[in-house]
Amino acid sequence: MNFDPVPFRVSIELGLWVTAILFVLCLPAAWIFARSTRPWLVWIESLGSMPLVLSPTVLGFYLLLLLSPKGPLGAFFLSVFGIRLAFSFPAIVIGSCVSSLPFMLGALKTGIVAIPSHILDASATLGKGRLETVFRVAIPNMRPAIFSGLVNTFAHTLGEFGVVLMIGGSIPGVTKVVSIAVYERVESLDFAGAQAYAIVLVGASYAGVLALNIAQRRAGRR
Partner 1 sequence: MPSFSIRKRLVASDGIFELEVAASFPEGGFLGIRGPSGSGKTTLLRTIAGLCRPECGHIRVDGETWYDSERGIFLQPQRRSVGFVFQDYALFPHLTVFGNIQYATGDRGRTEELLELTRLTDHARYFPRELSGGQKQRTALARALGRRPRLLLLDEPLSALDEGLRQALGEELRRIRREQGVTAILVSHSKTEIESLCTDILELPTCPSGELRLAAPAFA
Q: Which residues bind partner 1 (CB under 8 A)?
A: 116, 118-119, 121-129, 136-137, 140-141, 222
Q: Which is nearer to partner 1, 82 or 116 (CB)?
A: 116
3-state secondary structure of 32: helix
Q: How far apart are CA 33 and CA 46, in angstroms?
A: 11
Q: Which is nearer to partner 1, 70 or 221 (CB)?
A: 221
Q: What's the distance, Cα to Cα, between the start and end of the chain in Å?
A: 49
Alpha carbon 63 to its chain centroid, in Å, reads 16
**Rounded to the nearest whole angstrom, what is the least distance from the CB of residue 137 to partner 1 in the complex?**
6
Q: How far apart are CA 222 and CA 97, in angstroms?
A: 33
Name 133's Cβ contacts closer than 8 Å, sequence gap at least 6: 120, 123, 124
**Rounded to the nearest whole angstrom, what is the least distance from the CB of residue 219 to partner 1 in the complex?**
11
**Rounded to the nearest whole angstrom, what is the least distance from the CB of residue 213 to partner 1 in the complex?**
21
Q: Which is nearer to partner 1, 24 or 119 (CB)?
A: 119
Residue type, 196: A
Q: Which is nearer to partner 1, 20 or 114 (CB)?
A: 114
**Rounded to the nearest whole angstrom, what is the least distance from the CB of residue 20 to partner 1 in the complex?**
24
